[in-house]
Amino acid sequence: MTPVPTADQAVIDATRYDAVVFDLDGVVTDTASVHSRAWRRLFDEFLTARPAARDEDHSAFTDEDYLRYVDGRSRYDGVRTFLASRGIEVDEATVRGLGDRKDHYFLRSLEEEGTHAFPGTVALIGQLAASGLSYAVISASRNCADVLAAAGLQDVFDVRVDGLAARELGLAGKPDPAVFLVAAHRLGVTPSRTVVVEDALAGVEAGRAGGFGLVIGVDRDDHADELTAHGADLVVADLAEVSVVPEYEPAR
């Protein structure tokens, strides 16, 4: 198992870093579970209804499927990647239809259940603000603004780069680092002096590929070893474990 970082390791040093880019679902808000349930409903319906075919795996969608093939990716990329893992080929219209149906399931759950921000993340943002570091939020979802509003965080982040921005700019999805690089550019910082915080395997892989100075993995699903293997410099169970060392320590 990946060792739990010590207090000295789980630190964002304001002399080394200028900004932090947070993923939304599972890092800032407790919406990863809502996404996971929507994906499970979608694929279980699809796989159950699809006629049996040689070389296709129609077994039920699992938590491991979510983490490996869907989490952190755009809706359509998630559909393509998961179906490919099961040996299933479909046309682009089917990909988009499935992705849009998943979005419907997610939005209905969000409306009925709401969401909340993780207290440890909110506390860390407060430390960043007090230390003069800037921060952004990214998401593969086009519903980022709605999720932030539902959690009461609509006015918190200096920069937001979401699925709508990715479509407008023609950005590739994770594990490509494009969305993180745009966030850093809009904050006016360099990747080497920027921290990425992610809970998805594709997300930490993107942070590493983008040359970011520190990649923190948030392990809410007992996959710390995989987060490390995909590029996380350190892994924590919650961002309450991370502290910010200001550029200048107050005199005692």
CB 11 within 8 A of CB 245: yes
The radius of gyration of the chain's CA atoms, rounded to the nearest angstrom, is 18
Residue 81, number of CB atoms within 10 A of its CB: 16
Tell me whether residue 222 is one of the annotated catalytic residues.
Answer: no
* Catalytic residue selected from 13, 18, 25, 158: 25
* Catalytic residue selected from 8, 13, 18, 23: 23
Tell me whether residue 225 is one of the annotated catalytic residues.
Answer: no
Distance CA 203, CA 218 (A): 11
Residue 136, number of CB atoms within 10 A of its CB: 22
Residue 2, number of CB atoms within 10 A of its CB: 16
Structure tokens at 86: 């099961």
Distance CA 149, CA 188 (A): 25
SS3 category, 218: strand
Strand pairing partners for 159? 136
Catalytic residues: 23, 25
